[in-house]
Structure 1
Amino acid sequence: MRAYEKRAELEQYLKEIDHSIDSLHERLERVDMGCVKLPRRIRKRPLEETTD
């Protein structure tokens, strides 16, 4: 594979990662605003147990 082909492939991969991060960021903002309900087991779990 030529270098420019590999570069194009890696750039596409990075764009997909950026898009995934943006999507997760948007979902977290909705959670912070209370628009998304978390499963009860996550809400009830003490903070100490979630940092494993």
Structure 2
Amino acid sequence: MASLASKLTSLLQSPQGRRLADKAKAAAAKPENREKLTSLMAKISGKGPRR
């Protein structure tokens, strides 16, 4: 049985995987998405404001 890492590697080397990676990079470059990601990371790590 193939490991998760090898499955991800084979996906990212395929044309469909490259398209997904490019789409993710484009989404990560947008300021509003970067802000959402930063707040989510702070919330997960416990360094953000608590509600």
What TM-score, normalized by structure 1, do the two folds share?
Answer: 0.42
Q: Which has the larger radius of gyration?
A: 1
What TM-score, normalized by structure 2, do the two folds share?
Answer: 0.42
